[in-house]
């Protein structure tokens, strides 16, 4: 498994590989310059290079493990950026945990097919960046910790048994939602697509054959959400297969797989986000996505 990260170092946006202890970054640019093996300029291009890119990266890393020629950069010396921007909206799945359906709608009406919607690509923001409340138009700001899939190759009408072959990697998304906008517009797009409403990152986890992840969400240190992707109503394979029917998925497409029980709206009274609140979403093997509300 590898963790790919995009970061700003001394005013330049670059990408690299996070060390096994998550403390150092191996810059892709220096790997390419040192070993004369082509790697892409940015992470989106690298994803689009497919298996060839991953093979080249592994060659570079294997040689560097032997001679340690490429200097690393401390994670503390960089500003972590959005992993990449594909230009397409983020695909999302709603109502994908039974416990969340029950807490949110007080009903046992479990969907029989995945409920899809999108978030605007312009809503993406990075870990450690502020989430803007947009208090002038929304008073009910909520969080939703979710596992997200990154698609690695083009595909349409993908069979469920083949779906995992189309996954490039995994990351974390906080599906920030304005509940009052969601309610007043009678659909989900507007209330989920305001600027900064899609924190993502901090890394893309590649090379994992595991589809079982534990999700934890804390607000100001209080554990609000804890569940496993094993409890999703629709599996990762089913989500990819269903979404791809009649829709061509492309390398770099992001699919958020839904949130478990414990969102602010589910409490009585609701626990909506306030200015100064800190949201920390941790997913096993990936890391933590941390943002404050401005």
Summarised one tens digit per residue, pLDDT across range 157-213 is 999 999 999 999 999 999 999 999 999 988 899 999 999 999 999 999 999 988 999
Provide the greatest CA pair distance for the chain: 60
Q: pLDDT band for 106, please (50, 70, 90 cuts).
A: low
What CATH number corresponds to the domain at position 155? 3.90.850.10
CB 183 within 8 A of CB 285: no
- Among 63, 79, 95, the domain-final residue is 79
Q: Which of 57, 79, 101 is the last residue of a domain?
A: 79
Instruction: Say what the pLDDT of residue 100 is.
Output: 83
Among the listed residues 87, 58, 70, 82, the one whose alpha carbon sits nearest the alpha carbon of residue 33: 70
Q: Which domain holds residue 34?
A: 2-79
Position 96 confidence tier, pLDDT thresholds 50, 70, 90: very high
Inform me whether the pLDDT recorded for 21 exceeds 70.
yes
- Indicate the helix (H) or strand (E) that contains 236: helix 236-243
Q: Of the candidates 16, 46, 79, which is a domain's last residue?
A: 79
Whole-angstrom distance, CA of residue 47 vs CA of residue 65:
23
**Pairwise CA distance, residues 65 & 61, whole Å:** 6
Average pLDDT rounded to a whole number, residues 99-105:
77
Domain co-membership, 182 together with 90 = yes
Integer Cα distance of 193 and 212 in angstroms: 28
What mean pLDDT do residues 222-249 have?
A: 98
Are the C-beta atoms of residues 194 and 134 closer than 8 Å to each other? yes
Average pLDDT of span 59-79: 97
On average, the pLDDT of the chain sits at: 96
Judgement on whether residues 64 and 164 belong to the same structural domain of the protein: no
Does the structure show a pLDDT above 70 at 277? yes
Starting at the edge strand that comes first in sequence, how are the strands of the sheet with 222-228 ordered? 130-131, 287-293, 278-283, 214-219, 222-228
Same domain flag for 69 and 125: no
Confidence of residue 105 (pLDDT cuts 50, 70, 90): low
CA 76 to chain centre: 21
Taking residues 69-87, what's their average pLDDT? Answer: 96
Same domain, 46 and 145: no
Look at residue 27 and tell me whether its pLDDT is greater than 90: yes
Indicate whether 49 and 114 sit together in one domain.
no
Query: How many domains are contained in the chain?
Result: 2
Whether residues 69 and 11 share a domain: the answer is: yes
State whether 179 and 61 are in the same domain. no
Tell me, what's the pLDDT at 109?
A: 78
Residues 62 and 107 in one domain: no
């Amino acid at each position: 498994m590898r963790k790919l990260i995009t970061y700003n170092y001394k005013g330049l946006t670059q990408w690299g590989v996070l060390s096994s202890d998550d403390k150092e970054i191996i810059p892709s640019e220096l790997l390419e310059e040192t070993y004369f093996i082509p790697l892409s300029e940015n992470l989106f291009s690298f994803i689009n290079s497919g298996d060839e890119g991953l093979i080249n990266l592994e060659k570079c890393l294997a040689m560097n493990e032997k001679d340690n020629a490429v200097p690393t950069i401390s994670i503390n010396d960089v500003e972590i950026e959005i992993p990449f921007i594909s230009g397409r909206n983020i695909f999302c799945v709603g109502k994908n945990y039974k416990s969340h359906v029950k807490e949110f709608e007080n009903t046992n009406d479990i969907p029989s097919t995945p409920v899809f919607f999108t978030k605007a690509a312009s809503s993406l923001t990075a870990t450690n960046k502020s989430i803007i409340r947009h208090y002038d138009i929304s008073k009910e700001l909520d969080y939703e910790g979710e596992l997200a899939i990154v698609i690695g190759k083009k595909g349409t009408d993908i069979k469920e048994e083949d779906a995992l072959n189309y996954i490039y990697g995994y990351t974390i998304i906080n599906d920030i939602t304005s509940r009052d906008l969601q309610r007043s517009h009678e659909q989900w797009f507007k209330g989920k697509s305001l600027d900064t409403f899609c924190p993502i990152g901090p890394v893309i986890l590649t090379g994992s054959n595991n589809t079982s992840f534990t999700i934890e969400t804390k607000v100001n240190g209080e554990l609000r959400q804890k569940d496993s992707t094993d409890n999703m109503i629709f599996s990762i394979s089913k989500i990819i297969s269903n979404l791809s029917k009649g829709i061509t998925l492309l390398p770099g497409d992001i699919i958020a797989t839904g949130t478990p029980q414990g969102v602010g709206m589910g409490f009585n009274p609701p626990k909506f986000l306030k200015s100064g609140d800190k949201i920390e979403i941790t997913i096993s093997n990936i890391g933590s996505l941390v943002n404050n509300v401005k």
